[in-house]
Amino acid sequence: MDAAVECTHCKVLMTSWSAPGSAIRYYQCPFCARTHSSLYGEVFRRRAGARVVEAPARASAPAEIPMASPEDIRWARVKASAAQWFARVEADERACAPRAATVTRVPAPAVPKLARARAVAAVRAKRKP
């Protein structure tokens, strides 16, 4: 499968990679960091987070599909590390003042965590004889 995959949340093409010698391909959105694997074709068929763009990436008109520029990707990384930093600060505050209930909660990145769990499950499934 060498088709382009689009993140249905951000409407951008996802970057893809695969381990050498592996038939499984992984796709990650440069904006929201959602990750999908070709093992879960269901995700693409149901368009639950990702969809296969019909034409191959190189053959399609670049103007029709918004691409993440290096600047966008850099900015997404800055936002991600800022979110991690805030989460750490929040954890520290909670550790220092357990009774401070007024601390503003920073939403945890639940979806990337789920994607990671899926990737781990995919690796485990692959190891089975």
SS in 3 state form for 82-119? Answer: HHHHHHHHHHHHHHHCCCCCCCCCCCCCHHHHHHHHHH
Phi, psi of 5 (to 5 degrees): -120, 135
* Type of residue numbered 80: A
CB nearer Zn ion, residue 10 or residue 83: 10
Minimum Å gap between C-beta 34 and Zn ion is 5
Q: How far apart are the first and last CA of the chain?
A: 24
CB nearer Zn ion, residue 90 or residue 118: 118
Give contact residues for Zn ion (rule: CB under 5 A).
Answer: 7, 9-10, 29, 31-32
Q: Which residue has the tokens 């220092």?
A: 96
CB nearer Zn ion, residue 29 or residue 39: 29
CB nearer Zn ion, residue 10 or residue 106: 10
Residues with Cβ < 8 Å from 113, sequence gap 6 or more? none
Minimum Å gap between C-beta 40 and Zn ion is 16
